[in-house]
Amino acid sequence: MRKKLHNRIGILGGSFDPAHLGHIKISKEAKKKFKLNKVFWVITKRNPFKKKCFFSLHKRIALSKKLVLRHKFIEVVYIENKCKSNRTYKYIKYLCKKNQNTDFYFIMGADNLIRFHKWRNWQEIPKICQILVFDRDNFKSECLKSVAYKKISKKRLKFIFPNHTHNSIFDNNNLSENISDSFLPYNISATLLGLNSNNPMNEIFYKISFEHALYNYNNVNYTFQDIIRYFEFRNNSS
């Protein structure tokens, strides 16, 4: 009897405040390299490590769904009301229960692996899914020193090094694949503009973000002032 093939599903969790082209880029990269059938964008009401969100939960879900309209392999989900928790381990267990015969791949940035050991029940996560770590600004050297890296079986953890020529957020400018809203302003200003990375709140940065469609993509339209207000919020709440 022919063995039934397993589905392969990626999980990209976060506040998606807001979702942008970088999230799509790493979803596509993970799908390609690990032959994923689908990638769940699991939106959380609030990131436990952040004070607050700029957009409401309803707005973030709506914007994310609009952003991925052309990418049918990405499914935007909010399941905290179903699994009664915003903890990663809990919602992964819930998804495993709802999707039988499925291999799960949890996608994270390298900066998150460094503090992974601070997540609740973090040691249980590699037991139920593979961990895919996207390198961000050469964070790998720090990852290798992390508590999580030393304790997770290397069979359960894979690093992904984005192709900067074809997979950077701004394809024509050779920027590194750093989609974190905590690091993105520094990444763009320092790499593309040659500015002082301690002063990312620069009008040129906003203009570049706007014109390169980082946030304006697939009929998700923010005004120039929207982007300015957003990064001022991120800077003041960090």
42 backbone dihedrals φ, ψ, rounded to 5°: -95, 110
- C-alpha gyration radius of the chain: 18
Contact 112, 12 (CB under 8 A): no
- The answer to whether residues 27 and 132 touch, using CB atoms and an 8 Å cutoff, is no
The per-residue pLDDT for range 5-27, each reduced to its tens digit, is 579 999 999 999 888 888 898 99
Q: CA–CA distance from 156 to each of 6, 54, 235 (Å)?
A: 17, 34, 35
Q: For the packed helices 224-237 and 203-211, what is the interaxial angle rounded to 10 degrees? A: 120
In whole angstroms, what is the distance from residue 101 CA to residue 92 CA? 14
Strand order across the beta sheet in which 7-14 lies: 74-77, 38-43, 7-14, 102-109, 130-134, 157-160
Q: Which pLDDT score is estimated for 236?
A: 64
- H or E element in which residue 147 lies: helix 147-151
Residue 144 structure tokens = 């290798």
**Which pTM does this prediction carry?**
0.76
pLDDT of residue 143: 86
Q: Which residues of 38-76 are buried (b: 16+ CB within 10 A; e: fewer)?
A: bbbbbbbeebeeeeebbbebeebbebbbebbeeeeebeb
Domains annotated on the chain, with CATH:
7-170 (3.40.50.620)
Per-residue confidence (pLDDT) for residue 133, from 0 to 100:
92
Catalogue the E-assigned strands of the chain: 7-14, 38-43, 74-77, 102-109, 130-134, 157-160
What's the pLDDT score for residue 235? Answer: 61
What integer pLDDT is reported at residue 53 of this predicted model?
Answer: 84
Q: Which regions of the chain are under pLDDT 50?
A: 1-2, 164-202, 204, 210-211
Q: What is the pLDDT of residue 149?
A: 92
- Distance CA(43)–CA(80), nearest Å, equals 9
Q: Say if residues 36 and 30 touch (Cβ distance below 8 Å).
A: yes
